[in-house]
Amino acid sequence: MEQMIVKAGHQLKGRVQVDGAKNAVLPILAATLLASEGQSLIKNAPLFSDVYLMTKLLNYLNANSEIDEDHNEITVDASGKVTTDAPFEYVSKMRASVVVMGPLLARFGHVKVAMPGGCAIGARPIDLHIKGFEALGATVTTTSGYVEAKADKLVGTDIFLDFPSVGATQNILMAATLAEGTTTIENVAREPEIVDLANFLNKMGAKIQGAGTDIIKVKGVDKLTGVEHMVIPDRIEAGTFMVAAAVVGGDVIIEDAISEHNQPLISKLKEMGVQVEERPEAVRIVSDGKLKAVNVKTMPYPGFPTDMQAQFTIAQIMAEGSSVMEETVFENRFMHLEEMRRMNANFNISGDTATITGPSQLQGASVQATDLRAAAALIISGLVADGITRVSKLEYLDRGYHHFDKKLRQLGAKVGRREAGNLSNEDLSEWLDSI
Ligand code: UD1
């Protein structure tokens, strides 16, 4: 089994390029199912394992999809005889596959999917998705681990979400594109990935207004057509490199990072004493690695993203003083901190709040990734720990980072991926110096 082998080294210096956004490309790929005519061409598609899984699901459904790895492009042709059953095999591996529900229900009046799985970061029900479909006129039943929705036709209506769920907003938005009449969805998620999805749908022929605000209006149309679209850059990957540079210290330019999408993170980094330069198509981080303690609370966009929580706690662990991290979006997202105990991190967790006293003198250890962002956080912590850190369960990392080790090495970090077997820390340290 491959592990990420990490040790502290020089400061990080240079340029790094972020990929397309995972959380934008997945719903956009699902949206290609809405096109009864033409082919869709998705550009700037990141080569993450979740993206491969989504294309496999599309192929299973008879929407022919192909990834061009040399150009980061995906073509999808859903104009043929698409099926409407998404089996356990796919959905259990990736919660995001539940967003095929809205498009399939809208276009074919039927969908059946296994109850979703995904990262183990909380209960993550889909009650809001289901309520939305029912409000549009569908009958939804859940039996033996499957959710099935049926409708002769969907009819536009007013929907108020109890919570601005990202997935529910996407699913209901897509279902409403082909409904009869107008749908108004209130208290929707405002994430940049929702705006990207709405832009894609509008190019396909949908009539959506208000994406990026908390009320979205959708005027139903008769049909949608395949189109070309360029996915926005991944703000979480960009944010991960911002935190890595802040913690390790150095001077890093993160190309294609859209600073507007990362304002809460940028303002917290500045509060910690990090220099952040916001450029039109990049963000530059200059840090001496000496950080001041700050308090953070995760919130739906435009608040501090839960997907940056794990990485940011490493900055808090390395900061001078007492910091608080409050996780309000998912109820079980401090699992990486429990792993960090083995690395000598000093913190207390009570309910949804971690109180962190820093700076800790981190010690390299063998740790396991517990979800996608935890994987990145543990690797960053290895870059400032004494000795060698081995991070396993890299399948989590691969869900949302491509060539993470290569990109860090490009910045001068001592990190590499391999089977470590019985190799001693001395052997691994030498190997890191040689790659
Ligand atoms: C999406 C992102 C994920 C991110 C999350 C929050 C994708 C592929 N994934 O996940 O990276 O961490 O947004 O920013 O875009 N909830 C309910 N009922 C529902 C739906 C959600 O109670 O029907 C709860 C969830 O349990 C969770 C919270 O709402 O506590 C947020 O979930 P949601 O915004 O739906 O996240 P996802 O779409 O799953």
For 22-230, CATH gives 3.65.10.10
Binding site membership of 168 for ligand 1 (Cβ less than 6 Å): yes
Binding site membership of 306 for ligand 1 (Cβ less than 6 Å): yes
Strand partners, 39: 77
What pLDDT is stored for residue 118 in this prediction?
45
Domain boundaries, the chain: 2-19+233-433, 22-230
CA distance 135 to 160: 10
Tell me the residue ranges of DSSP E strands in 246-392. 250-255, 275-279, 282-287, 291-292, 296-297, 319-326, 347-350, 353-358, 366-368, 388-392
Contact 101, 171 (CB under 8 A): yes
- The continuous run of DSSP H or E covering 65 comes out as strand 64-68
Is 22-230 in the same CATH topology as 2-19+233-433? yes
Q: Collapse the DSSP code of 326 into the 3-class scheme (helix H, G, I; strand E, B; otherwise coil) and give the result.
A: strand
Torsion-angle region of 319 (φ positive above 0: left; ψ -120 to 50: alpha; else: beta): beta
What pLDDT is stored for residue 136 in this prediction?
98
- Per residue of the chain (435 residues), give pLDDT as tens: 999 999 999 899 999 999 999 999 999 999 999 999 999 999 999 999 999 999 999 999 999 999 999 999 999 999 999 999 998 888 888 888 999 999 999 999 999 998 875 445 455 689 999 999 999 999 999 888 889 999 999 999 999 999 999 999 999 999 999 999 999 999 999 999 999 999 999 999 999 999 999 999 999 999 999 999 999 999 999 999 999 999 999 999 999 999 999 999 999 999 999 999 999 999 999 999 999 999 999 999 999 999 999 999 999 999 999 999 999 999 889 999 999 999 999 999 999 999 999 899 999 999 999 999 999 999 999 999 999 999 999 999 999 999 999 999 999 999 999 998 889 999 999 999 999
- CATH fold group of domain 2-19+233-433: UDP-n-acetylglucosamine1-carboxyvinyl-transferase; Chain (3.65.10)
What pLDDT is stored for residue 28 in this prediction?
98
Binding site membership of 169 for ligand 1 (Cβ less than 6 Å): no
From the number of C-beta atoms within 10 Å of its C-beta (0-12, 13-18, 19+), residue 410 rates as middle
Instruction: Give every CB contact of residue 260 below 8 A, 6+ residues apart in sequence.
Output: none
- Distance of CA 167 from the midpoint of ligand 1 (Å): 6
Residue 386, CA distances (Å) to 8, 195, 383, 430 in order:
7, 43, 9, 15
- Distance of CA 124 from the midpoint of ligand 1 (Å): 7
- The continuous run of DSSP H or E covering 203 comes out as helix 192-204
Is 251 annotated as a binding-site member? Answer: no
